[in-house]
Structure 1
């Protein structure tokens, strides 16, 4: 029987299809000193569950997000090269991470293969090269493992139960922090956890919804 995610553990939810997950992991030396469990989830399944339209389906949003990812990479001094097609199927890369134990060095190497070198991991010859890179010779066989696929599906379902709606997402002290630009907030709340219990934070966290269909200024 598959065990559920331990909600008390600090976690980092990611999908290799996300350039912002890559950029955030490249800032690992800035993360708060907690034992974050690297947890791969399928971003598209999160979108489907929450009824969100993927950014790549909105042409102007798609272009902006790619430019923003490049801008953030240049701003942070992080090498960045988009794969030739996006979105790509990240499933095999996710399964490879699970098969390899999912530790930070492995996950970071996979991200770098995709987002630093610009390789599409769904292309067979690229996936073969990636397997060799991380020292897993039977990667193709592992990618076909029902057990690994079940673990990835379970990760995603459990993440949804916790309220995860996108990646990258930190979960710390039963709170979620979404997006590459949320790192300063994560660091602040790690040092000052009582901020989340402040009167104003509690008030806006339970703010009543306005008129249905009203569009907020930022998504």
Structure 2
């Protein structure tokens, strides 16, 4: 009998096109591999780490958008940016939580925002998706919904998450759509990260720190 697949945790925010791209790769695996889906507020993670998001740096913003579109085209995945970006993803995140963070909810919200290029920044903009999921718009503002999203985000920060999307394998973090294969390889082969050179990198001294 094959050993059970190592469980993974996936931290994501609907504001990220790379989270959408990774979702399209992750979703087909859910029947065979345990993955805990955790929506988080990326902006809160950036604040906690003292970082700027890619879309907050003008030339990086342009590059990031083009890179996402190129990745989508190479993978044969439909991608159309929403009317404005970055946008406030709270409504979409809370809708996901209110829908039980099911795979169907994650898929519907990502599809609306990134496959169809629709706005996802308010309950009004998301009304067709909410109807599809059977979620009342009032649920987005419910104290329990808000608390659950905050708890998800706090847990991600405590786990060391610094960006989205991130796949976590125990304490190991794999950031970005382009780390997808690396994460699955590590999940399938626990010895991968115990390789002597991999282990040495975890202890590599800092040669010089930039002064702020």
Q: Same fold (TM over 0.5)?
A: yes
Q: Distance in 2 between matches of 1:76 and 1:114?
A: 18
1:156 aligns with 2:153: yes
SS in structure 2 opposite 1:157? helix
- 1:124 Cα offset (Å): 4.8
- 1:128-162 CA distances to partner (integer Å, 9 max, x unpaired)? 122123232x1x21111111111111111111111
Q: Count how many residue pairs are aligned between Structure 1 and Structure 2.
A: 205
Task: Identify the residue that residue 24 of structure 1 maps to in structure 2.
Answer: 22
Whether contact under 8 Å (2:80, 2:114) holds in the other structure is yes
Structure 1 stretches of at least 4 aligned residues deviating more than 4 Å after TM superposition: none
- 1:64-104 CA distances to partner (integer Å, 9 max, x unpaired)? 00000000000000000000100111111111111111111
Structure 2 unaligned segments of length 5 or more: list them: 1-5
Q: Distance in 2 between matches of 1:9 and 1:188?
A: 13
- 1:20-45 CA distances to partner (integer Å, 9 max, x unpaired)? 00000111225794311110111011
SS in structure 2 opposite 1:102? coil
Q: Distance in 1 between matches of 2:148 and 2:60?
A: 32
Q: Distance in 2 between matches of 1:143 and 1:48?
A: 23
Change (3 A) 1:70 1:207: same
Q: Distance in 2 between matches of 1:195 and 1:11?
A: 19
Q: Distance in 1 between matches of 2:184 and 2:155?
A: 25
Provide the TM-score with structure 1 as the length reference: 0.88
Task: Identify the residue that residue 196 of structure 1 maps to in structure 2.
Answer: 193
